[in-house]
Amino acid sequence: MAAVVTVVAAAIGLIIGWFVSGYQKVTEKLTEERRSIYLTLLQKADEANENPQADRTALERAANDAEFICSKQMMNSGRIRKLLNAVDSESWKNERKRFFT
């Protein structure tokens, strides 16, 4: 009887471990994707800030992508739109710095 309980407990432990491991991998992948998209957004914003006359389609697309994948906290802070609106303005440097905090 003790052997059966041990086997069942081990099986349950393996199943729980499998779920935790899977969740962790999904979370890591999501974090990696967010960082990549935020980097693209910053690159496009820097390009648009350097050349204010340039077409902002790529910048708008990067901002939309960032808003799609961002966390609830990032969305509620409004950092993405504030960064977008600060391009080619006096507040650019401050908003760019704030984007990282």
3-state DSSP assignment of residue 51:
coil
> Nearest-CA neighbor of 18 among 57, 26, 7?
26
pLDDT at 57: 92
Higher pLDDT, 43 or 99: 43
- Judged against a pLDDT cut of 80, whether residue 88 lies above it is answered with yes
What are the sequence ranges of the domains in the chain? 29-99
Paired tokens of 69: 């994948």
Provide the mean pLDDT of the chain.
89
Question: Which tens digits make up the pLDDT trace of 51-73?
Answer: 888 788 999 999 999 999 998 99
- Judged against a pLDDT cut of 80, whether residue 1 lies above it is answered with no
